[in-house]
Chain A
Amino acid sequence: MKIEVLGTGCMKCKRLFKNVEIAVKELGITAEIVKVDDISEIINRGVMLTPALAVDGEMKVSGRVADVKELKEILKG
């Protein structure tokens, strides 16, 4: 599983990234967690509000920090 956190490095992006790390650890799953902070790539991915979260290329959250419980639900599919 590839999890991408898209954002230019603001505090909310950092909070979302940290929550993703915690959710992955608590679920005990193996995942590649990637920060995408290149503005051109973020625009090309169609993100209008950051931070955003994509799982295996599919956009799941945009413009807010999902908490750990919500992220675990998203990652469990």
Chain B
Amino acid sequence: MASRPECACGDTSALAGGKKRIMFPCAGTANVGLISNAAALQLAEEGYGVATCIALLGSGDPGLKKRMADADEVVIIDGCPMTCGAKISELQGVAIDQHIVITAVGIDKVYERNYTEEEVEKVVSAAWEGRGRPGEIHAR
């Protein structure tokens, strides 16, 4: 009897030639920064990659650098055109494979804590679609 196919919703994408990703949301305090965190957590739950704290990257943590050396793709989710996440990555000498800027996805930056599931979904979809790659519509 044939075995049941395994769903890649676990961490099996790498077995099938998928990318092992590490994601850094900018985690700012305006709505778009909060959305960056929520989107990274949702993407992690969906098996897109591992969400990690941008502050840890900024600290130059050697353990994180080892983990990053093992990753296929680094994904930065910045809230706004300040691109703090990308700047921190560059300061740490980390090459970015995908860079999503939430305001470029069509969400305005406001200094409020409110955001919607639909806004988070826009960012999550953009990542799955690969829109943060160089030359794509949401890349900087």
Contact = CB atoms under 8 A, between A and B. Distances in A.
A10 B7 CA distance: 8
Interface residues of B, number: 25
Given A47-B5, A63-B15, A64-B16, A11 B130 contact: no
A42 B128 CA distance: 23
B69 interface: no
Classify the interface of chain B: helix, strand, loop or mixed: loop
A65 to B, nearest CB: 6
A64 B18 contact: yes
Interface of B: 2-9, 12-13, 15-19, 46-48, 125, 128-131, 133, 136
Nearest to A62: B16
A50 B6 CA distance: 6
A70 interface: yes
A63 B12 contact: yes
A7 B9 CA distance: 11
Nearest to B128: A15
Among A10, A22, A42, A65, find the residue whose CB has the most chain B CB atoms closer than 10 A. Answer: A65
A62 to B, nearest CB: 6
18 contacts: A7-B7, A8-B7, A10-B9, A11-B46, A15-B128, A18-B128, A39-B4, A44-B2, A50-B7, A50-B8, A51-B7, A63-B16, A64-B16, A65-B13, A65-B18, A65-B48, A67-B128, A68-B130
Contacts of B48: 65
Contacts of B47: 11-12
